[in-house]
Structure 1
Amino acid sequence: MSTWPIPSNPDATTDIFPTLAESEIDRLRAFGKIRQGRSGDILFEPNTPNIPFFVVLSGEMEIVQPTSEGERSIVVHTPGHFTGELNMISGQRSLVRARISKPGEILEITPDALRSIINSDAKLSEVFMRAFILRRVALVRAGYGNVVVLGSRYSATTLHIREFLGRNGYPYTYMDLDTDKGAQEMLDAFKVTTKCIPVVICNGRTVMRNPSTTALANCLGFNSSVDTKQLRDVVVIGGGPSGLAAAVYGASEGLDTLVIESEAPGGQAGSSSKIENYLGFPTGVSGQELASRALTQAQKFGAKMLIANQVVGVRCDERPYEVLLEDGSRIATRAIVIASGAHYNKPNIPNLKQFEGNGVYYGATFLESQLCGEEEVIVVGGGNSAGQAAVYLSQTARKVHMLVRSGNLSDTMSRYLIQRIEENPRIDLRIRTEIAAMHGENHLESVEWINRESNTVESHDIRHVFIMAGASPRTEWLQGCLEMDDKGFILTGRDLDPVNGNGHLSKWPLRREPYMLETSLPGVFAVGDVRANNVKRVASAVGEGSIAISLVHRVLPEL
């Protein structure tokens, strides 16, 4: 039996494996029932949904993870210890096996009762939440999940699957076929071609060849606790900062809240390596860390989340509204908050798609930086996201060439980032410059760029390009349902007022005027980057998400 690389000595890890005091256990007794544990009893297995929360009163309980090579020991819980990690909050399936190793008494508490404790007992809530988060972080760092990904660093689909698992905070083991010859020989023996990569082993038994993120999410039970037949108070479409803020405030104020996210929490901000001007984080916070904390906070209050589900439309002719999913499901809701965000614009380069994931990236996280090593890289864009990426990549790259179409950065980037870029000897800022051509076979090999001021063209052997230039809204699925501007951004509030000369209130069915952030459809709000005239800052997106919920409370009585 192998051992998890985290000490199980509670004196050394009082946060990750704390021991509850007798007074704390006494407060828990009213919420559960006492069970007698016999040696060898299995309390739950990997992939088990809705597992209870256990507190060891006497005896011992071991937590292990079954593998093809035997069991990996994670921790032995002694009296005062408790089970669980983030799946206790999210409702996802168990990653481990729990077994009684020494007979004794255990306290069993249902997931619903645990949620009541977290919402009513501030001290225990802090202890449990801290332990759950640290345990999941440790599992991710150790790669102790029930997923194995076999892929190549030169495979765009491999990168996509790894990003999906990583941004959803799901632990997995990665085997690189470019360095692990044994794994490649095994795939060759089973006639697995490059078109089948990545190969994903889900739950230790299901083999998936180049799966979609939706198929993988279903295999892992990401959404098993969500009832799509239930009428919701509010459905939030999009899990970026504005959507997650709406989820936190909606659920904490007692609304039945469901978030639908097509990929992973965080949105565009989730791919930011470090945000330094967000209130309350003087040393900065990564977009993924911010999203992960917000999601845990929302789920703590009872919000549900559908991952890897694409919204394709809204039935907007009667209330309650219905949100239409790609798989044909329909979710009824009394109000909607649209936070579907925007995506980076793609330069007009004929073979750009060929290199997406194979040298062209739309996010700069630790995963992408590992692929670049100490090579030279290009960052395209003049906004804060591009600036954050350039500064982050300069820590490991030999040189960062920053290409900006405009003549300066002051109109689109925060001053602190401009100063970092100008003072960084590893960042080469080139204004009025854009990519003219890309060359390579299976992977990007070289790039040509042109300076529009001097009309000079340069060619460089650069294999990694990060594109973060401009943004277009994700609103194709709303055509004919809501009023938008000429770029597809959703009009809200005063922008719908006929005194502005646009006449967009002609279809408004109510006597009252639209509320701030309310669209041309009553009870449907737009927040964050998808909204016309939005302020492109994380803090403003979070503020809009919270304001939208206060307005949802106003419109619900209108039904």
Structure 2
Amino acid sequence: MPLPLILVIDGDTAVLDAVEAQLDRRYGGDYRVVAANDPDTALDTLATGEEVALILIARTLAGVTGGGLLERARQLHPHAKCGLMVAWDALADPPTAAAIVDAIALGAIDYYVPLPAAWPDEVFHHTIATFLLEWATEQRKVPHTVHIIGAEWSGRAHELRETFQSCAAPHTFSLADSEEGRRLLARTSPPITLPVMILPDGRALSDPSNAEIAEAAGAPTDFDGSDFDVVIVGAGPAGLSAAVYGASEGLRTLVIDERGIGGQARSSSAIRNYLGFPRGVSGSRLAELAHEQAAVFGASFVFMHHVTTLTRADDQLTLTLADDRSVNAAAVILATGASYRRLDVPSLEALTGAGVFYGGPASLAHALSGTDVFVAGGANSAGQAALHLARYARRVTLVVRGPALEAGMSHYLVQEIGATANIEVRTGTTITGGGGDGRLRELVLRDGPSGGEETVAADALFVLIGANPHTEWLPAEIARDDHGFLRTGDDVPGDGDAAWPLDRRPFALETSLPGVLAAGDVRHGSVKRVASAVGEGSIAVRFVHALRAAH
């Protein structure tokens, strides 16, 4: 197989030679490093059809050629990572810094790259290695990839893809009658029932259950009846944060999630305002790192298992799972988050996984080059999804029920969307219909003020229209608000069926069931941001210690 390209473009021959030498020496065995000292040569290279992993462009050449060299590079290779090469002190010059910030905000580049100094410049190589890791992960070019083969895009095959996406696990999907699907199936032994999963060790699972998938992935099987200091239900940002802090502080910690890691955050392709990640970080990658961090401290994880009941007897809390196994805990942290609301349009529900997707496009955007894509929603996750898709799709239409984006979206996202030429925003609009011949082909949009409807061609629809909390399984003595979110601290009622039962007041994140805390999006009054969820997860562990001290 031909090696993917790393293309370096700089008009300064001395700089070009130095960068090429650094790259070739470090990455030449796995990538073909190509240098170009003028835009025409660079465009000729980009037009050959070879796979490009990384493009490094000198700032002095970024705007050269019709439409700009950066823009042409993005059009020809939307999957490639793109870095702007600048002097090491570029951010000290306000105009240069502003231009770099604008280029990142508008999606023209992924990040800036300080030019390397003497060999070896590990700061330079850290940036390059990060680019290449992100590219390889997005293109499924990483080890330990699970291959899923299905007869069609929807149905159980779609559920498996969703499961692995929620676990932030590397995976591919192929139709059984495709060339790749036939090649993969040839490695299995009959009889088989689609969908089939081929694990990294070569084992093939025929139409596997969630329990089989969990066991194959290494989930513990001997936890029935075990005692823990804290059991965390939910592995989104709040739950993962609680796991890190709980385990690192010596608490016997168990995390249970019916899906995988990341929660709703995994749908975000680029969280750019999270502390400590100046390049931005995808929700999936953030979840992967947090999961690894918690595991290193000793937290245990049980995925693809559904908790059905939570009961309290004296000072012990017991959680029962759908398979009748149970665990005991001195304290429980509920971090179950919330799920996306459905459109409730039957013709579109039938196409879930076949052009209609609930959640963000992190794993699908690269497959939508040149298409017309719609995003329904007016919050940050919808804005991030639209911006990510705009790098690949011919046109992205953001469908917003409300009168203006500013009502539910961060200012920086509103600005970025407004500056992105191939994003159209339709406010005061709802999706009332649509369909296609086995795959989404059209949508029906209704204008709120006039009531008029319009049928438009559509290749994909991503729905991010709000969330419902996962609290329906909880006992009645845990107080909720009118929308099902959990009341905590001072919001816990003093009378009624879910009244606080003890003489002391509940702790700030404690629900009306003593010893049960809530953190993250599931909690009434939460900010619904990753950083605040992480903060609440860590604070919840502080109250676990307070509960232990109270006894």
Q: Do both proteins adopt the same fold according to a TM-score greater than 0.5, normalized to the shorter chain?
A: yes
Tell me, yes or no, if the aligned pair for 2:154 and 2:351 is still in contact at 8 Å.
Answer: no
What displacement does 1:190 show? Answer: 6.1
Q: How does 1:496-507 map to 2 (within 5 A)?
A: 496=492, 498=494, 503=495, 507=499
Moved more, 179-188 or 312-321: 179-188
1:541 aligns with one of 519, 528, 533 = 533
Task: Give distance in 2, aligned partners of 1:182 and 1:536.
Answer: 44
CA distance in 1, matches of 2:369, 2:152: 12
Q: 1:467 aligns with which of 450, 463, 471?
A: 463
Displacement, 1:331? 0.6
Per-residue CA deviation, residues 397-434 of structure 1 (Å, 9 max, x unaligned), is 11111111110122211000011111211111001101
User: In the alignment, what sits opposite 2:283?
Assistant: 287
Q: Name the counterpart of 2:218.
A: 221
Q: Which residue of the partner structure matches residue 241 of structure 1?
A: 237
Question: Which residue of structure 2 lines up, in the alignment, with residue 29 of structure 1?
Answer: none
CA offsets, 1:189-243, max 9 Å, x none?
Answer: 9686xxx53212346565433323332122332335x633320000000000111
Query: 1:158 — aligned with what?
Result: 157
Q: In the TM superposition, what are the counterparts of 1:339-350 in structure 2 within 5 Å?
A: 339-350=335-346
1:209 alignment counterpart = 206
SS in 2 for 1:351: helix
After superposition, give the CA deviation of every residue in 1:302-335 in whole Å (9 maximum; x if it has no partner).
1111111111111234431111111111011110
* 8 Å CA contact retained: 2:308, 2:321: yes
Deviates further, 178-187 or 255-264: 178-187
Instruction: Identify which of 245, 251, 257 aligns with 1:255.
Output: 251
8 Å contact kept, 1:265–1:291: yes
Does the CA contact (< 8 Å) of 1:268 and 1:342 recur in 2?
yes
Q: 2:381 and 2:145 mapped to 1: Cα distance?
A: 33
Partners of 1:316 and 1:481 within 8 A in 2: no
Does the 8 Å CA contact 1:242/1:528 hold for their aligned counterparts? yes
How far apart, CA to CA, are the structure 1 residues paired with 2:339 and 2:151?
26
How does 1:407-418 map onto structure 2 within 5 Å? 407-418=403-414
User: How far apart, in 2, do the equivalents of 1:303 and 1:149 lie?
Assistant: 29
Q: Does the CA contact (< 8 Å) of 1:140 and 1:171 recur in 2?
A: no
Residues 171, 154 of structure 1: alpha-carbon distance in 2 compared, 3 angstrom cutoff: closer
Alpha-carbon distance in 2 for matches of 1:442, 1:191: 28
Match of 1:385 in 2: 381
- Pairing 1:439–2:438 present: no
Of 286, 308, 319, 1:312 maps to 308
Indicate if the aligned counterparts of 1:143 and 1:173 stay in contact, CA closer than 8 A: no
Over 3 Å counting, the alpha-carbon distance change for 1:300 and 1:504 in structure 2 is farther
Instruction: Please give the alpha-carbon distance, in whole angstroms, between the structure 2 residues aligned to 1:140 and 1:463.
Output: 21
Paired AA for residue 176 in structure 2: L
Residues 471-525 of structure 1, C-alpha deviation per residue, up to 9 Å, x if partnerless?
A: 1100010141411111111110011154xxxx35974232110010100011100
Aligned partners of 2:501, 2:184: CA distance in 1, in Å? Answer: 62
Query: Partner amino acid for 1:421?
Result: I
Equivalent pairs counted in the alignment come to 432
Correspondence for 2:394: 398
Partner of 2:321: 325
Equivalent residues in 2 for 1:2-401, closer than 5 Å: 12=26, 141-145=140-144, 147-151=146-150, 154-172=153-171, 174-180=173-179, 182-183=182-183, 196-202=193-199, 206-224=203-221, 227-401=223-397
SS in 1 for 2:473: helix
Are the equivalent residues in 1 in contact too, given 2:340–2:359 (CA < 8 A)?
A: no
Superposed CA RMSD in Å reads: 3.5
SS at match of 1:448: strand
Shift of 1:368: 1.8
Query: 2:267–2:362: 8 Å Cα contact kept in structure 1?
Result: no
In structure 1, runs of 5+ residues without a counterpart are: 6-10, 14-129
Q: Does the residue aligned with 1:367 lie in a helix, a strand or coil?
A: coil
Structure 2: gaps spanning 5 or more residues:
5-24, 28-128
Residues in 2 aligned to 1:171 and 1:537: alpha-carbon distance in whole angstroms: 25
One of 487, 508, 520 as aligned partner of 2:512: 520
What is the alpha-carbon distance in structure 1 between the residues aligned to residue 274 and residue 185 of structure 2? 48
SS at match of 1:379: strand
Residue 411 and residue 160 in structure 1: after superposition, are their counterparts in 2 closer, same or farther (change >3 A)? same
CA contact (8 A) 2:351 2:435 kept: no
**For 1:400 and 1:425, how far apart are their aligned partners in 2?**
10
AA at the equivalent of 1:212:
S
Alpha-carbon separation, structure 1, partners of 2:169 and 2:197: 14
Whole-Å Cα distance in 2 between the matches of residues 176 and 189 of structure 1?
18
Quick one: structure 1 residues 411 and 307, their matched pair in 2 at CA, closer, same or farther if it must change by over 3 Å? same
| Counterpart residue identity of residue 545, structure 1 | G
3-state SS of paired residue (2:329): strand
Cα–Cα, structure 1 residues 447 and 441, in superposed 2: closer, same or farther, change >3 Å? Answer: same
User: In structure 2, the residue corresponding to 1:217 is in which secondary structure?
Assistant: helix
- The answer to whether the 8 Å contact 1:355/1:443 transfers is yes
